[in-house]
Structure 1
Amino acid sequence: MPEQLITEDLAAYWTGRPATTIRRWAAEGRLTRHQDRARRRNGVLYDLAELPEAKRDKDTRALITPAETPPLLDQAPLLAA
């Protein structure tokens, strides 16, 4: 399935978390940052498939519960010294 890339603002809404949390999750290796140099703003996009969904009211879309912290993405195993 192709990636569905969204902006930081939309990622924050989807997860019910502030944009600073989205950036922190990316810095921690929980989300992948995708560059789109054609975008005027910062050009960073996030894959919707990596983002946990917040619980929202079906009618009003008001936030009920923010999304859980996503797990760390798979990383290459560390080599033993």
Structure 2
Amino acid sequence: MPEHLVPEDLAAYWTGRPATTIRRWAAEGRLTRHHDPARRKNGVLYDLAELPEARRDSDTRKLIAPGPTPDVIETAPLLAA
């Protein structure tokens, strides 16, 4: 498992995007969902290395610009049976 996994709310803050966008990006194959059954809520975690960082004011931490939309993660093609 990757080293820096965060729950959905922290992924949303990191990117400056709503949580629904994080879920959509995962559904589109732009982010990898990791599962931790020990977590109480839904156990879904996201890797910070895959999340585009939002630009924030260094003093107030107010959002300046959300992180860009990540590219679709390349996967190996499925072999036909």
TM-score in same-fold range (> 0.5): yes
Name the counterpart of 2:47.
Answer: 47
CA displacement, residues 34-56 of structure 1 (integer Å, 9 cap, x when unaligned): 00000000100000000000000
Q: Is 1:25 paired with 2:25?
A: yes
Q: Number of matched residues?
A: 79
Name the counterpart of 1:16.
Answer: 16
Q: Under a length normalisation based on structure 2, what TM-score does the superposition of the two structures give?
A: 0.91
Q: Under a length normalisation based on structure 1, what TM-score does the superposition of the two structures give?
A: 0.91
Give the C-alpha shift of residue 74 in structure 1. 1.3
- Percent identity, please: 78
Structure 2 gap segments, 5+ residues each:
none
Conservation of the 8 A alpha-carbon contact between 1:3 and 1:49: no
Write the distance in 2 (CA, Å) between the matches of 1:31 and 1:25. 6
- The runs of 4+ residues in structure 1 deviating greater than 4 Å are none
SS in 2 for 1:6: strand
Name the counterpart of 2:63.
Answer: 63
Structure 1 gap segments, 5+ residues each:
none
